[in-house]
Amino acid sequence: MARTDEALIVIDVQNDFCPGGALAVAEGDEIISRINGLMSDFATVVLTQDWHPADHASFAANHPGVAPFSVIDMPYGPQVLWPTHCVQGTSGAEFHRDLHTDPAHLIVRKGFRPWIDSYSAFFENDRTTPTGLEGYLRNRGVTAVTFVGLATDYCVAYSALDAARLGFGATVLDGACRAIDLNGSLAVARDQMRAAGVVLEA
């Protein structure tokens, strides 16, 4: 029987992050079957969904002459400029068709403010503007969270680091995630998570 104090957080399993998408993560669709199988093991299941306006400041297309994957300084710190992805209302922003969405108790949409990106399920990238997920979990009596999804080194890692910072027990199932690994970002993210007390499991 699922423990009532544990939640599964499924990060951004959307078409644009899967093969064929605008910001595809290699083998991103291969984790879906395992994620679906995990849902019945948790009393609380949350899905996150990137949900950007077309004029989002993190899109390279909105910075003329700047190439995708360049890094610029924003008021909240360094920002990777991404290919346009997960635009509100487009097929790319939809959950992958194979992902079971019916078991989800909550869907958290993030990145909808045009002037700030949002990797974490808990906070915008300024690390202070909340999504509301923390309060939802605490109201449900959740003390431990397990993360799966896309991508390990960005949205999963940011979410896990914030969960640990907020006092939740945090676990990342590495085998149920896939990474972008931009300029060594995966190794950096894993080191940061371990240092913060996040448990990395296969």
The catalytic site residues sit at 12, 110, 155
Residue 186 token pair: 């995966």
Best CA proximity match to 171, nearest among 179, 180, 163, 182:
163
**Contact by Cβ (8 Å): 160, 190:** no
Best CA proximity match to 11, nearest among 192, 195, 170:
170
Residue 130 CB burial class (10 angstroms; 0-12, 13-18, ≥19): middle
SS3 at position 200: strand
- Provide the pairing of β-strand 106-110 with 42-50: parallel
d(CA 82, CA 68): 5
